[in-house]
Homo-oligomer: A and B are copies of this chain.
Amino acid sequence: PKSFRVVVLHGDGIGPEIVPQATRVLEAISEASSDVELILDPRDFGGCAIDKYGDPLPEETLEACKRADAILMGSIGGPKWGPTAKVRPEPGLLRLRQELGLYANVRPASFASDSLVSYSPLKAEVAKGVNIIVVRELIGGLYYGPREEQGDGNSAYDTMVYSVAEVERITRVAAQIALNANPPLMIHSIDKANVLASSRLWRKVVTETLTKEYPQIKFQHQFVDTAAMNIVGSPRKLNGVVLTENLFGDILSDEASIIPGSLGLLPSASLTDAPTSPSDPLFRPTPGLYEPIHGSAPDIAGKGIANPVGTILSAALLLRYSLGLEKEAQAVEAAVRKVLDDEDIGGYGLKTADLGGKATTAELGDKVVEVL
Contact = CB atoms under 8 A, between A and B. Distances in A.
A122 B160 contact: no
Nearest to A205: B156
- Name the residue among A194, A224, A231 with the largest chain B CB count within 10 angstroms: A194
A164 interface: yes
Contact of A197 (B148, B165, B248, B251): B148
A157 B229 CA distance: 26
Contact of A254 (B197, B228, B248, B254): B228
A228 B247 contact: no
A160 to B, nearest CB: 5
A54 interface: no
A357 interface: no
Interface string A223-250: 0111011011110000000000001101
A355 interface: no
A145 interface: yes
A25 interface: no
Chain B CB within 10 A, most for which of A142, A229, A234: A142
Given A155-B164, A228-B251, 14 more contacts: A94-B195, A120-B123, A121-B232, A121-B234, A142-B160, A145-B157, A147-B196, A151-B161, A158-B196, A158-B198, A192-B250, A229-B254, A232-B232, A233-B258
A296 interface: no
Interface residues of A, number: 60
A252 B201 CA distance: 24
Given A160-B142, A160-B160, A247 B192 contact: yes
A157 B160 contact: yes
Contacts of A126: 121
A159 interface: yes
Given A123-B121, A156-B161, A147 B197 contact: yes
Interface string A94-135: 100000000000000000000000001111001000000000
A195 B90 contact: yes
Contact of A158 (B122, B160, B250): B160
A119 to B, nearest CB: 10
Given A229-B254, A251-B228, A254-B228, A155 B161 contact: yes
* 3 A-B pairs with least C-beta separation: A157-B161, A156-B201, A155-B163
Given A90-B195, A121-B122, A159 B162 contact: no
Interface centre among A162, A254, A263 (most CB of B within 10 A): A254
A229 B154 CA distance: 32
A252 B224 CA distance: 10
